[in-house]
Structure 1
Amino acid sequence: MMSPLLIKLLEIMPKKVRVALVRKGVRGYIKKYADLEVNGLENIDNAKGPIIFICNHLSNADALILHELLKDSDPYFVAGVKLTTDPVTNFGMEMVKTINIKPNSADKEAMTNIVKTVKEGNNLFIFPEGTRSRTGAMIEARKGILLIVRLTKATVIPIGISGTEKVLPIRQDGDMGGERWQQGRVKVNIGTAVSLPAKEKDEAKHDYEDRCLTTLMKSIAKLLPESYRGVYGEER
């Protein structure tokens, strides 16, 4: 949590200086608070680009930690426009390449920008659930990811992250800028590329889309401890 004075000082600084200071601060927080374990980085090296990274979402720490881990891939992060309205979270947005999207709406401009960015050869990172889980367990994903995958034909790499909900917990009052870092263990598992299944004969479009979305989300779920899998547990 930043003091009002520090926020004001950062706001009046040149952006280049502010970004450098925030990046240094974030790296310091990650090193201090997150006991980090990472598995599967070789799966990125073996993948053909461009890549769409998909991951479960627990905390505002997710993108900050994953941005550091994936810096060699340098992906654009798809992020809710709400993050730009709070000065603290906006500082984080400035240090990450982002494409802003309006949640819970058919944001055609953002979708066009996303597809164009990937088709130009850039990597992309998206949280298909669209928001942070308040329980730590996976919630229903939104179907926008299917359109992106189909239109770009990019390689999809799943990532499962756990523990960030304890390192930077969500505040119940919704004050993202007031969230405080805490000590905790964070585990990141990077999986192998996942493909959408073929459509079965006479399969309804709605059923096929549900099956495709479940395939993508279960590729994330299998990288997580069982208690984190939520609606994408084994019974689905």
Structure 2
Amino acid sequence: MSKLYSVGQFVCRVYLRLFFRPKIIGKENIPDNKGVLLCSNHINNLDPPFLGAFLKRQTRYMAKAELFELPVLKQLLPKLGAFPIKRGSSDRQAMRSGLKLLRDGEVVGVFPEGTRSKNGKLGKGLAGVGFFALRSDADVIPCAIVGSYKPLSKILLVYGPPVDMEKLRKEKASPEAATEEIMSSIQKLLDKYQK
């Protein structure tokens, strides 16, 4: 874990605890020393820091390429372990970067919907997530962020048990089929914990 990431993670934890009442469930589902693909619903710009703030390991994110063109962020994002993806097209370089990180035993956080939900409901997942899940041996961890980011409100983050990808890998399933399986697992967590 880089020093800058560690400091940023600490600041995020303090901020989240100060303004919200975060509750974390299921951290034991994340292995200590192998590739992990965190797949979460996406409801707010605070989701990426929240997803990784309370973990012992550094979480790396794909971020839209436009962010890497902004003066401060183009220096900061790579130092925090983020890598760019061009939205709206098949970005082979981003796919290669993400796959290499997973094969190297890193934690990669993704939001399969590709954008924030406007109504709070889980949308359709993009096939790229299934590609990562099938082409790596990473543990695929479905995650659910439940609640609102209203000041002093309760926000819940659930790391679910790994999605069993072995059957799909053996069947040589399509990335779309793998994504559907992952989205179904996220939806089950949302159904269980949303009130």
CA drift at 1:19:
7.6
CA deviations over 1:153-202 (Å, ceiling 9, x no partner): 21111111112xx317xxxxxxxxxxxxx332110111111123746xxx
Are the equivalent residues in 1 in contact too, given 2:143–2:186 (CA < 8 A)?
yes
**Equivalent AA in structure 1 for residue 25 of structure 2:** N
The aligned counterpart of 2:153 is 184
CA drift at 1:119:
1.4
The aligned counterpart of 1:214 is 180
The aligned counterpart of 2:34 is 49
What's the secondary structure of 1:132's corresponding residue?
A: coil
- CA radius of gyration, larger in: 1
What's the secondary structure of 1:128's corresponding residue?
A: coil
Instruction: For 2:167 and 2:6, locate their aligned partners in 1 and report how far apart those are by CA, in whole Å.
Output: 46
Q: Percent identity?
A: 25
- Does structure 1 residue 167 correspond to structure 2 residue 136? no
**Equivalent AA in structure 2 for residue 43 of structure 1:** N
The aligned counterpart of 1:12 is none
Identify if the C-alpha distance between structure 1 residues 138 and 90 changes in structure 2 by more than 3 Å, giving closer, same or farther. Answer: farther
- Does structure 1 residue 40 correspond to structure 2 residue 6? no
What's the secondary structure of 2:30's corresponding residue?
A: helix
Task: Provide the alpha-carbon RMSD of the alignment.
Answer: 3.3
> Structure 1: which 5+ residue stretches go unaligned?
1-15, 169-181, 200-204, 229-236
Instruction: For 2:145 and 2:57, locate their aligned partners in 1 and report how far apart those are by CA, in whole Å.
Output: 18
Instruction: For 1:82 and 1:125, locate their aligned partners in 2 and report how far apart those are by CA, in whole Å.
Output: 18
CA drift at 1:75:
2.3
Instruction: For 1:22 and 1:196, locate their aligned partners in 2 and report how far apart those are by CA, in whole Å.
Output: 32
What's the secondary structure of 2:189's corresponding residue?
A: coil
Instruction: For 1:29 and 1:117, locate their aligned partners in 2 and report how far apart those are by CA, in whole Å.
Output: 28
Per the normalisation by structure 1, the TM-score is 0.68
Identify if the C-alpha distance between structure 1 residues 82 and 185 changes in structure 2 by more than 3 Å, giving closer, same or farther. Answer: farther
Instruction: For 2:86 and 2:122, locate their aligned partners in 1 and report how far apart those are by CA, in whole Å.
Output: 21
Q: Aligned to 1:83, which of 64, 67, 88?
A: 67
Are the equivalent residues in 2 in contact too, given 1:67–1:96 (CA < 8 A)?
no
Are the equivalent residues in 1 in contact too, given 2:5–2:80 (CA < 8 A)?
no
CA drift at 1:31:
1.8
> Structure 2: which 5+ residue stretches go unaligned?
none
What's the secondary structure of 2:143's corresponding residue?
A: strand
Are the equivalent residues in 1 in contact too, given 2:33–2:105 (CA < 8 A)?
no
**Equivalent AA in structure 2 for residue 63 of structure 1:** P
CA drift at 1:17:
11
The aligned counterpart of 2:110 is 126
CA drift at 1:23:
5.7
**Equivalent AA in structure 1 for residue 115 of structure 2:** T
**Within 5 A, what are the aligned runs for 1:21-36?**
25-36=11-22
**Equivalent AA in structure 1 for residue 40 of structure 2:** C
Instruction: For 2:127 and 2:117, locate their aligned partners in 1 and report how far apart those are by CA, in whole Å.
Output: 17
Q: Aligned to 2:88, which of 98, 104, 116?
A: 104
Per the normalisation by structure 2, the TM-score is 0.80
